[in-house]
Amino acid sequence: MLLAQTRAQIVSYVRIPAFSLTSLALPVVFYTFFGLPNAGKHFADGTSVGLYLMCSFGAYAVSSVMVFSFGIGVATARGQKIDLLQRATPLPPGVAILASVFNALLFALIALLVLIAFVVLAGGVRFPVQTGLQVVGLLLLGALPLIGLGMTIGYSAGPNAAPAVANLVYLPMAFASGMFVPVADLPDFIQKVARYLPTYHYAQLAYTPIKHADEPLGWALSWSAVWALILFSLAVRAYRRDQQRKFS
């Protein structure tokens, strides 16, 4: 059941290129603009700028899959009343949600692999395989709070508003957290705010394997856990309110 539900999710995701292609292509496009010109340079501490930006856009790639696939995906399903019929079947709601998580993780992984391949082939950036694996692993593991954020949006916003809300909430957060431009180059007050954002600590996870993080791994993980807790309780509240309205 879980397998079939996951497969159905993947098939339908693939068939909506506006989702699937965008999530694969955008990180590469951004890397072309921001990363390629600097791919060969190094920071003062010797870290490759090309590698650093791969981690940044990797964080962007995974987090946008999470925020958009859940934010817009859930809101659209609600708008089309897909949840209504599903609710009347024996399918446990948890299985449907888990299938969406697996689907999002799979696409996030593909987006990461595409980006990494592009960075290696087009940017000529070299790094140990183990470093690459660590970056991928931490980014997928640390995505939990972002799933919470996506679900909160998906269960509170309507299907028409969801894309706007998701962009409005997520894009400034991604920018402020240094996914496009290093945090150190951002205005002072944004730097101060950034330290509290879930996306900031998420990006820090990705910088840990390349030894360019502002904070220790344990610290970034703790922040992520706290944010996961906050965002999931918000998501559960939005979910309950939605269910209450429809099914009580």
Partner 1 sequence: MVELIAAHKSYRTVEALRGVDIAIQPGGVVAMLGPNGAGKTTSINLMLGLRKPTSGQALLFGLDPGHRRARSRSGVMLQESGVNGALKVRELVDLFRTYYPDPMPAERALALAGLEEQAGVQSAKLSGGQRQRLYYALAVCGDPELLFLDEPTVGMDVESRRSFLAGIKEFAAAGRTIVLTTHYLEEADELAERVIVIDRGLVIADASPREIKSRVAGKRVSFTSDHALQERELAGLPYSSLEIDGRRVRMLSNQPEGLLREVFRRGLAVHDLEVAGADLEEAFVTLTSRQPAPAVP
For partner 1, give the closer residue by CB, 21 or 181.
21
For partner 1, give the closer residue by CB, 8 or 29.
8
Q: Mark residues 3-22: x for contact with partner 1 by CB under 8 A, - for none.
A: -xx--x--xx--xx------
106 touching partner 1, by CB under 8 A: no
In the three-class reduction of DSSP (H, G, I as helix; E, B as strand; rest coil), residue 42 is classed as strand
Q: Mark residues 217-246: x for contact with partner 1 by CB under 8 A, - for none.
A: -----------------------------x
For partner 1, give the closer residue by CB, 32 or 80.
80
How many residues make contact with partner 1 (CB under 8 A)?
A: 23
Among 44, 129, 189, 248, binds partner 1 (CB under 8 A): 248
For partner 1, give the closer residue by CB, 95 or 230.
95
| Radius of gyration of the chain from its Cα atoms, rounded to whole angstroms | 18
∠ CA 21-22-23, rounded to 5°: 90
Q: CA 134, CA 205: separation in Å to the nearest integer?
A: 10
Say which residues have a Cβ less than 8 Å from residue 49's Cβ, sequence separation at least 6. Answer: 35, 38, 39, 40, 41, 42, 43
Q: What are 16-21's contacts with CB under 8 Å, separation 24+? A: 19/68, 19/69, 19/72, 19/73, 20/107
Q: CA 33, CA 182: separation in Å to the nearest integer?
A: 15
∠ CA 104-220-70, rounded to 5°: 20
For partner 1, give the closer residue by CB, 2 or 169.
2
- Interface positions, 140-179, toward partner 1 (CB under 8 A): none
85 touching partner 1, by CB under 8 A: yes
For partner 1, give the closer residue by CB, 130 or 248.
248
Which residue, 229, 70, 65, 87, is CA-closest to 152?
70
Do residues 50 and 119 touch, judged by C-beta distance below 8 A? yes
Residue 71 burial (CB count, 10 A): 28
Among 91, 98, 114, 190, binds partner 1 (CB under 8 A): 91
For partner 1, give the closer residue by CB, 106 or 122.
106
CB of 29 vs partner 1, minimal distance in Å? 24
94 touching partner 1, by CB under 8 A: no
Binding residues (CB under 8 A) for partner 1: these are 1, 4-5, 8, 11-12, 15-16, 77, 80-82, 84-85, 87-92, 246-248
